[in-house]
């Protein structure tokens, strides 16, 4: 039996990241990065180990370069390398620009954009040497279209798209593909906190007239991670029920 491939999922113990971890664990050993909700992380580790995957739980703040360096060092010393990085960790701190504090702008950039840059940089080093690998980042429809009250989030997610295209060009010759997934409105704890009238307003903007589920994103992630997507790089795949049409 060939050795299982190795994947790292940031923010992988909740929401979309958790379902990505569950989906990938059918084929991969998984390193699950988390920053809070330790109990959920431990429960997920048990669940995936029962499915036959080796699981590394790594507590790290992706907006901190030392934390990220230690996380990649642990992966290197345990597994020797990494085949797949999924940049999923993300936060929102919404407000209209007139009320948005510089701290709330910077806080979202630090996690969503700089954190993705740190992980991309550290994964690039490992994957370039091996001359194989895949990097997938979860951006958002908001990074493509903007959204009222989300200047910080839109800037961070648009930045992830720019980095994805750039890194795809830098690493193409090394047989490393770099892609992004842009979900629309997916039902998770992040979106459950929205008021009902906002959810109804959003629903009216979705041509398919239904919200997405985390598994809709996880399946596209599994496709981009698979050999079937070996010749796809620098792309942003929308998973949004038609919002991007
Ligand atoms: N839910 C949606 O509708 C939707 C739509 C578009 C994009 N997204 C993106 O999908 C990703 C997952 O979101 P979700 O909806 O599952 O929400 P979520 O809050 O469940 O997931 C985000 C995860 O990131 C982790 N995280 C936050 N800050 C971190 C840090 N500094 N270091 C490490 N981990 C950190 C959180 O603890 C959490 O586990 C995010 O990047 C989000 O922006 C979600």
In this structure, is residue 204 part of a structural domain?
yes
Which residues contact residue 11 at a Cβ distance below 8 angstroms, ignoring those fewer than 6 apart?
A: 17, 33, 34, 35, 62, 88, 89, 90
Inter-residue long-range contacts of 50-55, CB under 8 Å, 24+ positions, other chains counted: 51/25, 51/26, 52/25, 53/4, 53/25, 53/28, 53/29, 54/4, 54/29, 54/30, 55/25, 55/29, 55/30, 55/31
**pLDDT score of 218 more than 60:** yes
Contact call for residues 72 and 126 (beta carbons, < 8 A): yes
* Predicted local confidence at residue 190, as pLDDT: 76
Is any atom of ligand 1 closer than 6 Å to the C-beta of 241? Answer: no
- Backbone Cα Rg of the chain: 17
- What is the token pair recorded at 88? 């999923």
**pLDDT score of 236 more than 80:** yes
Q: Cα(207) to centroid of ligand 1, in Å? A: 24
Q: What is the atom index within ligand 1 of the atom nearest the CA of 87?
A: 41
Q: Closest residue (by CA) to atom 11 of ligand 1?
A: 88
Q: What is the atom index within ligand 1 of the atom nearest the CA of 91?
A: 27
In this structure, is residue 245 part of a structural domain?
no
Per-residue model confidence as pLDDT tens digits over 161-196 = 999 999 999 999 999 999 999 999 999 987 888 889
**Structural domain span for residue 172:** 5-239
In this structure, is residue 244 part of a structural domain?
no
Q: Cα(91) to centroid of ligand 1, in Å? A: 6
In this structure, is residue 223 part of a structural domain?
yes
Judged by DSSP in three states, 125 sits in: helix
CA 3 to CA 5: how far, in whole Å?
6
Q: What is the atom index within ligand 1 of the atom nearest the CA of 63?
A: 31
| DSSP-derived pairing of the beta strands 28-34 and 55-59 | parallel
Q: For position 168, which CATH number holds?
A: 3.40.50.720
Q: What is the 3-state secondary structure (H, E, C) of 134-175?
A: EEEEECCHHHHHCCCCEHHHHHHHHHHHHHHHHHHHHHHHHC
**pLDDT score of 103 more than 70:** yes
Per-residue model confidence as pLDDT tens digits over 135-147 = 999 999 999 999 9
* Predicted local confidence at residue 1, as pLDDT: 52
* Predicted local confidence at residue 2, as pLDDT: 63
Q: Residue 153 catalytic? A: yes
Is any atom of ligand 1 closer than 6 Å to the C-beta of 164? Answer: no
Count of domains for the chain: 1
């Amino acid at each position: 039996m060939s050795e299982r491939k190795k994947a790292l999922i940031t923010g992988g113990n909740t929401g979309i990241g958790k379902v990505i971890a569950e989906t990938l664990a059918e084929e991969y050993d998984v390193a699950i990065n988390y920053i809070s909700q330790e109990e959920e992380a431990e429960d997920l580790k048990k669940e995936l180990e029962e499915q036959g995957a080796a699981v590394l739980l790594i507590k790290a703040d992706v907006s901190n370069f030392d934390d990220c360096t230690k996380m990649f060092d642990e992966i290197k010393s345990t597994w020797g390398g990494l085949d797949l990085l999924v940049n999923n960790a993300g936060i929102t701190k919404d407000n209209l620009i007139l009320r948005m504090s510089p701290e709330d702008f910077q806080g979202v950039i630090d996690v969503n954009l700089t954190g993705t840059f740190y992980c991309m940089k550290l994964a690039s080093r490992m994957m370039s040497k091996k001359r194989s690998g895949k990097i997938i980042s979860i951006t958002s429809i908001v990074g493509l279209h903007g959204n009222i009250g989300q200047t910080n989030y839109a800037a961070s997610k648009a930045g992830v798209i720019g980095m994805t295209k750039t890194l795809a060009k830098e690493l193409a010759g090394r047989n490393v593909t770099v892609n992004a997934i842009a979900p629309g409105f997916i039902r998770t704890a992040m979106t459950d906190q929205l008021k009902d009238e906002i959810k109804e307003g959003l629903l009216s903007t979705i041509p398919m007239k239904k919200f997405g589920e985390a598994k809709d994103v996880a399946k596209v992630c599994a496709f981009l991670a698979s050999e079937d997507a070996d010749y796809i790089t620098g792309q942003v795949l929308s998973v949004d029920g038609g919002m991007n049409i």
